[in-house]
Copies of this chain bind each other. A is one copy, B any other.
Amino acid sequence: MSRRQNPNLARWRRRVAETGRRTAWLLAGLMLFAGYAPAAMPTIEQWGRYEITLPGPTNGNPFTDVRFAARFTQGDDAVEVPGFYDGDGRYCVRFMPGKPGIWKYRTEASAPALNGKTGEFTATQPSAQNHGPVRVAHTYHFAYADGTPYRELGTTCYVWQLQDEALQEQTLKTLAASPFNKLRFCVFPKRYAWNTNEPILYPYAGSAATTNWDFTRFNVKYFQHLERRVADLQRLGIEADVILFHPYDGGHWGFDRMPPEANDRYVRYVVARLAAYRNVWWSLANEWDFMKQKKESDFVHYGEMISQEDPCHHLLSIHNGAILFNDTLPWITHASIQNGAAVEDPGRAEMYRDVYRKPVVYDEVKYEGDIESRWGQLSAEEMVFRFWNGTVAGTYVGHGETYKSDDQILWWSKGGILKGRSPARLAFLKKVLDAAPAEGIEPLDKWQNPEYGGRAPDYYLVYLGKASPTNWEFRLPKLPPGTARLPAGGMKFTAEVLDTWNMTVTPVPGDFTLMKGTGYLNADKDGRSIPLPGRPYVAIRIKRVKE
């Protein structure tokens, strides 16, 4: 593993190098596009950000007094995009073109200076690293908008972007070298164990000393900074799972208990600013049920609001504490679940798939670490074990790390460096996932043999967990009644033994020919078995030989 170049790390190096070359590239880009776009027409990649900035009123309160939006059209396609005030008399609207071609726009505003402005630009084909926003695919899985599979492998640094600049940069560097392709973090600052420092910025005008905030005036620097970090993640190929509300304020600043109209204004402002970033996911809340100042119906209100107002229709979920949200609601794109026990075995992990018929992301399954709280003391082995259980069950699992630290910097809250031993193994898992079928892994015998995941009859991943067998009889489950009862007799397969902890892949010599049996599983025609090392955490990868 160590000799293969990590793709995130490559992107990180590119990002550092690019900073100094940006002006040159901009000129070169303009020259390049000039050949096939009208000379004066700006261009932007499909799924890039096209930004209109106009000067407008500065009197009164521009955040509340001025309505500003734009309508983008291409042929019959029309998209209404809300704008926002960015301070210093600047009004912006940002648009992520969902298809290439010439887009026209016209602004709509309550202030004459901002109203009825028109323009057009060309959305070009996306560049190689740009696959668009992530969408739900094949019911339980994800893919980028261009169809490229997205194998979710997330981690959590709740308020990494609100720590000092050096620590933020360190976090980005760590992420770049990690296997993670999603990061969960909060918009608002957090006050909780291991995180009692003040943030570098505050989201509202007002006084930190007296915690007297003007909820009608955003601190635009706070959100500009947030955007910069979302863009940094995008360059690293990491989705930003942006958490809008959380309870870890406890009234200290009061962002967890703003009046309803302030909450609405806040949600709209964040959507207007961030929706054009293609790597954004909306997480309505972390541990929604621990926010005693909000009712469940409040979250339904915010969810419906985002669902209607986000012109880009980003993924949208809500994360629970002890009480699950009703993730069957239509505006929820995937279940984002905290459960301390669900991925202790694949049979459990599968159960919420059956309920939701959406992707299930176990975003919090306890953390690798050694703090006193029992949710933060998983061994690295247990963390990796949980990922594999979730994987063969056709679900996704989230990483987090809570190793005690003299400097109070725990990855789970502030970022910094990873100290645990699970990330290297999760990189191994990621490699396995990247080579798995594009449609995603499905559980293949959920109530009987939950260790079988895959896409029958072409690909199987059998995870043996904590068992340490020295032998595995080659058998493949037929599919349940109502589906084709694959695999069929005569099919040929090859197998590999994956040591998921020691990160080795060992091909099994020869191949296996399936015998049609009368039971629920078919065996090899010669009754062949696969010798195993007698260690835990072994998986068997089986691929069909197409003849």
- Measured in the bound complex, the distance between the Cα atoms of B374 and A321 in whole Å is 37
Residue of B nearest to A350 (CB): B341
CB of A326 within 8 Å of the partner chain: yes
A59: Cβ under 8 A from any B Cβ: no
A480 part of interface (Cβ distance < 8 Å): yes
Q: Is A194 an interface residue (CB 8 A)?
A: no
Q: Does A19 contact B (CB under 8 A)?
A: no
Residues of chain B lying within 8 A (CB to CB) of residue A340: 447-448
Residues of the B chain whose Cβ atoms lie less than 8 Å from the Cβ of A35: none
The stretch that binds B, out of A113-121, A141-149, A351-359, A502-510, is: A351-359
**Residues on the B chain within 8 Å of A450, using CB:** 341
Q: Tell me the bound Cα distance from A403 to B140 in angstroms.
A: 38
- In this complex, what residue of B is CB-closest to A373? B520
A328 at the interface (CB under 8 A from B): yes
Quick one: CB contact mask for A325-365 with B, threshold 8 Å, 1 for yes? 01010000000000111101001100110110000000000
Indicate if the CB atoms of A341 and B446 lie closer than 8 Å: yes
Does A520 contact B374, Cβ atoms closer than 8 Å?
yes
A323–B482 Cα distance when bound, in Å, is 11
Instruction: State the majority secondary structure of interface residues on A.
Output: loop
A324 touches B (CB below 8 Å): yes
| Contact pick for A324, options B290, B326, B347, B355, CB 8 Å | B355
A78 in the interface (beta carbon within 8 A)? no
Residues of B within 8 A of A342 (CB): 351
Asked if A30 is an interface residue, CB under 8 A from chain B, the answer is no
The CA of A444 and the CA of B61, in the complex, are separated in Å by 51
Q: How far is the CA of A387 from the CA of B348 in the complex (A)?
A: 18
A467 at interface, CB cutoff 8 A: no
Which parts of A348-391 form the interface with B (CB within 8 Å)? 348, 351-352, 354-355, 374
Number of copies: 2
Cβ contacts under 8 Å, A348 to chain B:
347-348, 351
Known contacts A347-B348, A348-B348, A520-B374; A354 and B323 CB within 8 A of each other: yes
List the B residue with the shortest CB-CB distance to A289: B482
Which chain B positions have C-beta within 8 A of A324? 354-355
Task: Give Cα distance in the complex from A482 to B247, angstroms.
Answer: 12
The yes or no answer to A322 lying at the interface (CB within 8 A) is yes
- Could you name 11 residue pairs across A and B whose Cβ atoms are closer than 8 Å? A290-B482, A323-B354, A339-B447, A341-B448, A342-B351, A344-B347, A348-B348, A348-B351, A351-B351, A355-B355, A374-B448
Query: Known pairs A321-B482, A341-B447. 8 more at Cβ < 8 A?
Result: A289-B482, A290-B481, A322-B480, A322-B481, A328-B328, A340-B448, A342-B351, A351-B351
Identify the 8 closest CB pairs spanning chains A and B, nearest first: A340-B447, A341-B447, A324-B354, A341-B347, A328-B328, A348-B348, A355-B355, A351-B351
